[in-house]
Structure 1
């Protein structure tokens, strides 16, 4: 049998169900792996080994029921875990221990998953480079001198190194997709409402979603099946039960290819890798057409709604880090007229892209505009000689897609000449999460890039 820590979640659940391995054995293999590699990458920042061992023993003593029975998982340090420290990556909450689980944690536990610990995130998930004042930076497993991306960088690095088979994350401007791209794993930003959240502050806010991360698309689908589903406490939760598409492959599908999402600067190292994706889809029987994408309005809409949400969510806190504080200040500048303009821009963009998806089944594009960058670099400030105005701008290839209310996945697309992972982004019409996963699986199986492990 292969090393347990690198088996897929799908295979591990089968082995546990058929009693070929015990939940305790599977957990111990992952705890051993955490002890071995976590000091190098700093992905898991709070370990819950003792309660996990007790939960694994209980799982072995019970009849397997849930989809994830006995499977170790890690939770992003933004979601509340009852009895386990949750810092949100902020010194303000460095010793915070919630009394109640977040809904996504509840659902994973209900499916039989076992919490191993919490994964690193920048303060309140602010930015696509995982570093904070509580735990420091998470390093890229493929090159320890580089960023793991963010804000779910701890989750991505933990998955890539075999510390866990599944991990949850969240995504406002790319935080499930960017770290998946940087760490050669898969991440899905679901349609808003597919994985509902519960909030008494921003219940109607649709830019931020929670979703699954894994090493394979089948595992991504398995985890989504466990965490998706209606909850009456979310005003836009989707009632439809998530079901994978029965069809396989991409033969006959119409694929739109955008190398730069409508004129964004893309690092030539990233561009060289993502440019190989169209030929893969053509070889699989899809019709691929390069398109001039019009995402005008996405920038205005994203920045306005993001800023407004930061002021709403964190405006009452003092002692915030510089990135979070900057976002709060931008939010305090938002006027009613600015919100009206953002809503108008987003609505027009939604209708334009609705017509676009009448012609194309999926859009493929770069996830990130750059490959992993030096870990000591706070953010990307220049691409192809073009100076960027602030720390947000290098993430446009991800956050412009966030505005579409659409499902989007990052799937490994290959490596730069110096061995850094690059992902391709697969986007479909809103609510067609299963279509995204079907296309992602076909690409993954045709290329096999995700099977290349980091040198740890």
Structure 2
């Protein structure tokens, strides 16, 4: 007999629509999974059992089931604020903070009919690309508990990979959806800047962070993304919302289900960091890329190797923005600063020491880089890169005290993600390979502005051939 968590999110939604699955039944099933698995994995920092049961009953009582996610469980990343639920931002500093209003993204997912089961783990203020904090246990990789889950949406990735949620929302300011998706064997999609009205990135520093889905299948990722864009299934009505040329405003799920089209693809192993850091691509990452190239070639796509032009401006400019983003952390005085982790304190002080000129020059440099990056890739429908340069990192691998060394480690692990945020382009990570040691390795496809439908179509084609959705970590089979 098939267990509910073995069904895809789309299959669960169809069961809910037909009345074959009850909303409260599904909620209870996942709460039991979380209760069983979370102590070992650290995916959730808070499980809101009572609120979830109340919400499930309210959703079940709704007269109409047309909302995009009607009855489906999710978890809120602990950078998102939900009224009445502690929002700790992965930090001891925020241990007692309880917001009185919900963020726009939380409200959008509520409008879509989702049922939140709790808060998923994130590193302190979402700053690093790994989910290990002093505020709680690390988010452990379900494929090997000695390894990390990536970040900053690490808890969300662990929850989905271990079948504690059917899918989950995350946020991505430098790879924070795609990195944990790659580490945990999931599909992770960073939308175009401006695509998701409630978390467009347009109003953020350098336009970097946007919201995106983590899921086991391409169709599930599209289903959640559709809900983020237009919660009630209609056309998004927001002046920040981007559409690509010819986009009719219809659901992206259709592109993910059909998986149609032949495209011209670039294949790239250079990154924006190559001039500043020594980047080495592990054999496992090379093997994942080679597998994706072979499969896409067999599907009839055109493939051409390409490289990025050397650029000395990117690394110092991005470092400046990363530090500036920490300047506003609400820590004043030594007592509050001592509640922060060493890396966060270093970032905060570096950010607060920046001048207006420093910030203006960095923003200008990244704007120039954005135009250059898009120009260099413009002849392709999508560009294929490794998702990560290395295999998932062991817990405790990152230097906790030396900010410069820590930053270098993050770059060397994740060199292919942040340049996509700077350019505002969409990108999808696909878990194409399982290594001999049983670890997932993925590839990234970078699309044109507003080109999510192309990425989803390509992802669906690879998924049909490689069938990664049937790979299950041993801990999740219990």
User: What's the TM-score, normalizing by structure 2?
Assistant: 0.87
Residue of structure 1 equivalent to 2:50: 50
Does residue 354 of structure 2 align to residue 334 of structure 1?
A: yes
Alignment-derived partner of residue 309 in structure 1:
325
Q: Does 1:93 align with 2:112?
A: no
Alignment gaps of 5+ in structure 1: 382-386
Asked if 1:32 corresponds to 2:32, the answer is yes
Q: Distance in 1 between matches of 2:364 and 2:171?
A: 26
Give the TM-score normalised by the residue count of structure 1: 0.91
Range moving further from structure 2, 340-349 or 213-222: 340-349
* Deviation digits for residues 397-452 of structure 1 (CA, Å, limit 9, x no counterpart): 21122211111111102122211111111111122222222222222222112320
Residue-by-residue CA offset, 1:272-297 (whole Å, 9 max, x unaligned) = 22221111111111001111223624
For residue 233 of structure 2, what is the aligned residue in structure 1? none
Tell me if structure 1 keeps the 8 A contact 2:399–2:406. no
Is 1:433 paired with 2:425? no
Q: Within 1, Cα distance between the matches of 2:270 and 2:473?
A: 28
The offset of 1:315, in angstroms, is 6.7
- 1:4-403 mapped onto 2 (5 Å cutoff): 4-63=4-63, 64-197=65-198, 203=204, 205-229=206-230, 236-238=240-242, 241=249, 243-244=251-252, 248-249=258-259, 251-261=261-271, 263=274, 264-294=279-309, 296=311, 297-314=313-330, 318-319=336-337, 320-378=340-398, 390-394=408-412, 395-403=414-422
The secondary structure found in structure 2 opposite 1:343 is: helix
Separation (CA, whole Å) in 2 of partners of 1:379 and 1:401: 25
SS in 2 for 1:413: strand
Q: How many residues align?
A: 449
Please give the secondary structure, in 1, of the residue aligned with 2:378: helix
- Tell me whether 391-400 or 364-373 shows the greater mean CA deviation: 391-400
Please give the alpha-carbon distance, in whole angstroms, between the structure 1 residues aligned to 2:437 and 2:224.
32
Structure 1 ranges of 4+ moved more than 6 A: none
Judge conservation of contact 1:13–1:69 (CA < 8 Å) in 2: yes
SS in 1 for 2:474: coil
Q: Distance in 2 between matches of 1:17 and 1:286?
A: 37
Q: Conserved in 2, the CA contact under 8 Å of 1:256 and 1:363?
A: yes
- Asked whether the equivalents of residues 13 and 69 of structure 2 are also in contact (C-alpha less than 8 Å), the reply is yes
Give yes or no for contact 2:219–2:253 (8 Å, CA) kept in 1.
Answer: no
